[in-house]
Amino acid sequence: MPKRYVIIGGDAAGMSAASQIRRMDKEGEILVFEKEGVISYAQCGLPYWVGGVVPEKKKLIARTAEEFLNRYNIDVKLYHEVVKIDPSKKEIKVFRREEKDEIAVPYDVLLIGTGSTAIVPPWEGRNLPGVFTLKTMGDAEELLDWLSSHTPTKAVVIGGGYIGFETAEALHSRGFKVTVLDLAPQLIPTFDKEIAEIAQDALKRHGVEVHLNEEVVGLEGDEKGVKAVVTKNGKFEADLVIISIGVRPVSELAKEAGIELGPKNAILVNERLETCIPDIYAAGDCATHFNRIKNAPDYIPLGTTANKQGRIAGINMAGGDAKFA
């Protein structure tokens, strides 16, 4: 009897796993449940779509649900949100958004690839018009739609990591006066200080202001929109704000199912991407990975890591033996 593989999440880790499973198991049933309406897209490319370097959304999408079904017999269910995992019954509960009902789906092997979500502190003013995150395709669409009917001139990017840096470049290319604020003493904290200084100098040469050691305490504005970002050291005028201070793993489903969590509440996995519950794997931004330098589990959410973890999880789910290293 063909094995049923169920995957929660249709982005980097989930679709990499699904593709690898199909390479190894030609007969197995592969079901992917994705709560949004798009899969297999380049989240890291979103700032370049906002900046106009990527001309249209479809350039960011590697493959559609229809392509996966027709070419690989991988059944992707869009607008299907998994709301519960029941390991004792080996089934999941799925809310079908368009049908507005809930169904139970059994599995033989399960992969959790629920990804991460943008961190937004409980600042006063965080929900003002003109305040955005840039984590998902939906975020980018919302921002571009807003820009089509508004004419901001002063943008503040809160956060100087990879996405914050790229977003600053994107907004600058659109003609905005851009200011980057970061709590840390340097941009891109994963870089060595000397390299970070080179990156900061590049921003400044292009007219982007950079203010480090700035702790944001709130945002000011009214019903028409945001007007300023307030820090402990002062106030920065803005009619557009992008919050880009990092992500947290989406691991609530796993926790409720009794799956052990690790650093930063990411799903704890071993080198085979197995969780503490048999036949349940996790990969991508929702999961830990083993850090050879620390000699311990760690949480470093990156697209490259997600793709590799998904591939390794897929091999093992299909009966192979691969390790993340």
Instruction: Please confirm, yes or no, whether 44 is among the known catalytic residues.
Output: yes
254 burial (CB, 10 Å; 0-12 / 13-18 / 19+) is: buried
Query: What CA–CA distance (Å, rounded) separates 159 from 148?
Result: 24
Say which of 24, 42, 44, 184 is annotated catalytic.
44
Dihedral sign (CA 180, 186, 188, 194): positive
The dihedral over CA atoms of 128, 134, 139, 142, expressed in degrees to the nearest 10, equals: 60
Residue 252: which H helix or E strand, with range? helix 252-256
Q: State how far the Cα of 107 lies from the Cα of 86, in Å rounded to an integer.
A: 10
* CB of 36 closer than 8 Å to CB of 139: no
Q: Are 221 and 198 spatial neighbours (Cβ–Cβ below 8 Å)?
A: no
DSSP state of 261: B
Q: How many residues does the chain have?
A: 325
Contact of 298 with 263, CB cutoff 8 Å: yes
**Residues annotated catalytic, as ranges:** 44
